[in-house]
Every structure is written in structure tokens, then in C-alpha cells.
A and B are shown apart, each in its own frame.
Chain A
Amino acid sequence: MYEGVVQDLIDELGRLPGVGPKSAQRIAFHILQADPADVRRLTHVLAEVKDKVRFCTVCGNVAQAERCRVCQDPRRDPAVICVVEEPKDVVAIERTREFRGRYHILGGAISPIEGVGPDDLRIRELLARLADGTVTELILATDPNLEGEATATYLARMVKPMGLKVTRLASGLPVGGDLEYADEVTLGRAFEGRRLLDV
């Protein structure tokens, strides 16, 4: 145990995701030894992030204004919505530069163990967006784990009566890798999702 504020700092850092007690201690001492200007900059952005960043009223992504950049952009196709769990998933998909539609961020996945039910996710907002008929395709891009699959299944069932096209991202082999290193589940899925090769 350290004295007073140093221990407080370690405790606070230790509450962050992915930071264990040892890392918390290392970061705390790094901050203690750092240049005061650097630390001031850090405290400034920490304060600012809570004040300035808002969530887009349409898709739920992090935004600086009422609507996020994607939702403001008239070139993005309003007929296709890609549903993801977290804002960081949007960043990942944007990096591909393949997707020109809009997003919808759920804020997590259904998981009774963690006390997350459909009411805790932004599902009602999604249904509201689908109501006016502009959207023709819904891409379900929740994580390929059990909770993500369950959430995707749930959404697919919910929107089924609306008669729009519902797709799920394919799971399969990593590009540039060796087949022999793929685990059985991924390889099995890749077999299930194989497609005709047009030549």
C-alpha cells in the first residue's frame, strides 16, 4: 500500500478495463515522473471528453455534434444500416472503406449474466429508424461470439415482419494466413459458408 493520493491513483487506474494492479502501479509512477505539461494535457482531455463528446442522436456513435459524421454525410447510403455492438466496431469497419451505408450502435450485446437485456440496448431506436421504409437492408455485424450471435438472432426475429433484407457478416478464414493454422470452429464455419467460384 502506498500513502494517500498515490494509492488513490493506483486504485482508480486499476478500475479501468484491461488494467491489472501491476499495470496500474506502473502507470501511476509513470504519471508521477512525467513532465507536468504532459499530465496537464492528459487531465484536460479527460475532462473534455466527458463534457464535449456526445452520442449521435440517430445512430448512437460518439459525436462532436448532435449527429455524427457518418449520419451527417449525404453521400452515405441511407438504405443500408450496419448494426454493431460498440463505437470501436464502427472504426474497424470504416478502415475497410468497403461499406458506404450508415451505422447503428447497440451499446453491447444481450447477456443475462451481465444483466443486459434487449431494453438495455438501443433496439427501440433501431426499430424507429426502420419504420419509414427508407432502409432496405440491415447488416448484422455483432461480435461472432455466443452473445453476439444471440443478439443477431434476436434482431433478425424482430425485424422479420418488416420484410427487409437481413444479412449477417460471414465468418471464415483470415486472409493471408495458412489454412493449417485455422482453428476447427473457424474452418468449419468457412466450409458452411463456402461459395461458388465463378470462372
Chain B
Amino acid sequence: MHVSHLSLADFRSYARVEVPLDPGVTTFIGSNGQGKTNLVEAIGYLATLSSHRVAADAPLVRLGADRAVIRAAITHGERQQLIEFEINPGKANRARINRSSQVRPRDVLGILRTVLFAPEDLALIKGDPSERRRFLDELIIVRSPRMAGVRQDYDRVLKQRNTLLKSAALARRHGGRRGAPTTTKSIEADLSTLDVWDQHLARTGAELLTQRHALIAALQPLTDKAYEQLAPGGGPVGLDYRGSAGDSPHHGVPGTFGASREQLYELLLGALADARKQEIERGVTLVGPHRDDLLLKLGELPAKGYASHGESWSLALALRLASYDLLRAEGESGEGGEPVLILDDVFAELDTRRRDRLAELVAPGEQVLVTAAVDEDVPGVLTGARCTVYNGRVERT
């Protein structure tokens, strides 16, 4: 698939811009702060409904405007689909597909598939576990858009459960004090609902875990292969899931990694029961997919803290390339189609050897969108259209 037209209104620095795009490589060249990244960020947003640069939507809207609009025409074989997405910070976003009446924003997921490489990817290796969870969950949602709903439900159950635990923890602390109103009875009533939230947390959590396990199993060989191509002899790469409920391939209860959804449900319920006393004391949910991590290893050592800067980069790129391979392979058999590759300012960060290897690997992609500050950063293999981006204007050269 490829994006054949992108149109932005009040998105980031752009008041209005129309960018026709072709299959193959397109490179956006421009100095810092001219708006290159904003273009690819908008495309990435349509694929994941979140930005790769910021967590909230507000910075995406041009200063002084109420809302931003992204429109994109996606060509997939003979078929063309038009997505129109309105970002309303603080209010509900709105979406339309093929000029239809309004659809739920979530329905947009799955139409455009992208794999985005960016300087921020280094956080996959060096950052907090939340970065790696986000990587996994975003890829899960691209593979199966239905999971966006499950993810949303999980977050909602978690929020409800945490609020309940927090109020119980608070009441407990104040209940012990003299003169404080006795709330013991309501604590008991509240805690009696904890079992119910446990059940719902385990149900949605098990669904998420099943998908994460399956994804890691599929990514493992692909990441190893990609790393070997980028940095020969540096591997092997290990992907090791660290589940807070003990669902880890090597370190937890044997046989729980890759277990069925029913088994994971029981596992989570059991782990929640074990953690309950501690959870009530601390007022927060301590078990579940939101506490898990993906341990990345090079050889026998964990990448975080041990890998050099260059190795970390190679590993981050390998994870993205593996995602690309996975989506491409699935797209051939299913209806997804080949994902659009986006390389946002990555070449400047790499040494010549890695730069050339990466370029060779992505060059055959159906559509490759590259941003760079100067022409020289982009390896020669990536021939194709060039656009200059200057002061909010995009011109084909």
C-alpha cells in the first residue's frame, strides 16, 4: 500500500499543505524546524492514532487553532481509501472514511499500516519498560485493530481498580486515627467488589498477554535476522518477556509463556490474589500487562545498560525492521498489504556502515518516506523523488 496524497490543515506548523505522493522513495529535505517531521508524523498518526513524538494530542494542533485535520488517500492495489481525521484536543476526535458519515476514530485503525523509524527509537533499548510495552501494543493493534478496544477496556478496568485500591488504602490509614470518621464498613463493601475487578482485569489482561506472547514469538527470529544483517556477528538477539504474573519464557513459572488465554486468565487471577495484601497497602495494581517488560538481550547480556550506543541503535533498527518483515509477510497473505516505511531523521544518527545497510534493506519497499536535514545524509541507494521543505512549504525538486 502507499499514501498517494496527504493534506494537512492546522497540523503542527502547517496552516494548510497539500502533498501528492508516489510509490517508491520520497525524501523530504529541509533544515531543522521547517516541518519535515510533521509530515511523516501525520501519516504515522493515522496508522496508530498517536504521535511518535508526544503523548498528548494538544501539541499537534497549530498554535491558535482549535483543531487539526489530517486527510490522506491510501492506495492499496486497485483500491483507494480516503481517511479524514480531525484532532480535537480535550474533546472527542472525529473520523470519516471515504467521505462517509462519521465513524468511530478507532475504525480508522488498520486501513493504513506503517513502520516508523525515528531517533526516539533509541528509547526502546535505553528507556523505561513503558516504551517497550508501547512498541508491542502498537504493533499488536496494527496487526489486529480489534485489540485497540481490548487495550482501552484494560486501561479502564485498571483505572477503576486503582481508584478502588487507593480509596481503600486511604481509608485504612485514616480509619486508624482517633477522631476520624469510621469508614470500615464501606471499605469492606468496596473491597468486596475487588474480586469483580480482578475478574475483568484478568479477562482483558489475558487477551492482551496472549497477543504479546504470540507477537514476541513471531518477532524473535525476524529481529535476530535483521540484527545479523545490520551488524554481522553481533548477535544473537534475545527477546525475553518479563511478565509480572510470572509468564516469562525462562525465568518464571515454566510453561506459562505462550499458554492459552484460559491458562493466562487463571495465572493472572492467582497472581492478583497473591498480591492483594500488598496492593491494598500501596493502593495500586501490581500485577498485569501494564507492569510487564520486554527484556532485550545481545548474546547473554541485557541490552539496557550493557550495549554500546552503536549496538543499541542497531538493535532498535532491527526491531523496526522485524516489525516491517512481519507486517509485510502477513500483508501478502491477508488483506493488510505492505506497510509504508517511514524513516524520520534516522540516517544522521548512524555511522556510514549502518546507514548503507539500512538503506539497502528498506530500498525495495513499496513506499519509503525519508526525512533528512541535508542531502548527503541519505545514502545513494535511496533514489527517488526529492521534496524540499522550507518554512511550511513543500516543493518537489
Contacts and interface: CB of A to CB of B under 8 A. Distances in A.
Contact of B190 (A112, A150, A157, A183): A112
A113 B163 contact: yes
Interface in A95-115: 110-113
A186 B228 CA distance: 44
A112 B164 contact: yes
B160 A112 contact: yes
Nearest to B148: A184
Interface stretch (B36-44, B194-202, B270-278, B312-320): B194-202
Nearest to A185: B149
B173 interface: no
Nearest to B146: A184
Contacts of B186: 117, 119
Interface in A156-199: 157, 183-185, 188
B189 A119 contact: yes
A154 interface: yes
B153 interface: yes
B159 A113 contact: yes
A146 interface: yes
B196 A183 contact: no
Given A117-B193, A119-B189, A149-B200, A185 B163 contact: no
A153 B199 CA distance: 9
Most A CB contacts (10 A, CB to CB) among B149, B186, B192, B196 go to B196
Nearest to A113: B163
A147 interface: yes
Contacts of A110: 193, 196
A157 B189 contact: no
B192 A118 contact: yes
Interface string A108-136: 00111100011100000000000000000
Q: Secondary structure of the A side of the interface?
A: helix
B196 A146 contact: no
Given A112-B164, A113-B160, A150 B193 contact: yes
Contacts of B200: 146, 149-150, 153
Interface in B143-164: 145-146, 149, 153, 156-157, 159-161, 163-164
Interface string B184-220: 0110011011011101100000000000000000000
A184 B149 contact: yes
Nearest to A149: B200
Most A CB contacts (10 A, CB to CB) among B161, B192, B193 go to B193
B160 A146 contact: yes
B201 to A, nearest CB: 10
A117 B189 contact: yes
A112 B146 CA distance: 27
A183 B104 contact: yes
Contacts of A112: 160-161, 163-164, 167, 190, 193
Interface in A51-70: none
Given A146-B156, A154-B196, A118 B163 contact: no
Contacts of B146: 184-185, 188
B189 to A, nearest CB: 5
A144 B305 CA distance: 46
B332 to A, nearest CB: 22
Contacts of B192: 118, 154
A147 B157 CA distance: 9
A112 B169 CA distance: 13
Interface in B63-103: none
Nearest to A158: B192
Interface in B324-348: none
B193 A118 contact: yes
Contact of A146 (B145, B157, B164, B185): B157
Contacts of B160: 111-113, 146-147, 150
Contacts of B156: 146
A117 B171 CA distance: 14
Contact of B196 (A113, A157, A185): A157
Nearest to A147: B160
A77 B195 CA distance: 33
Nearest to B190: A117
A146 to B, nearest CB: 5
Contact of B193 (A146, A154, A185, A188): A154
Interface of A: 110-113, 117-119, 146-147, 149-150, 153-154, 157, 183-185, 188
10 contacts: A112-B167, A118-B192, A118-B193, A119-B186, A146-B153, A150-B193, A153-B200, A157-B195, A184-B145, A184-B149
Given A113-B159, A185-B146, 20 more contacts: A110-B193, A112-B160, A112-B163, A113-B160, A113-B163, A117-B189, A118-B189, A118-B193, A119-B186, A146-B153, A146-B160, A146-B200, A150-B196, A153-B196, A153-B199, A154-B193, A154-B196, A157-B195, A157-B196, A183-B107
Please give me the 9 A-B residue pairs with the lowest Cβ-Cβ distance, nearest first.
A112-B164, A112-B163, A184-B146, A154-B196, A153-B196, A119-B189, A117-B190, A113-B163, A150-B196
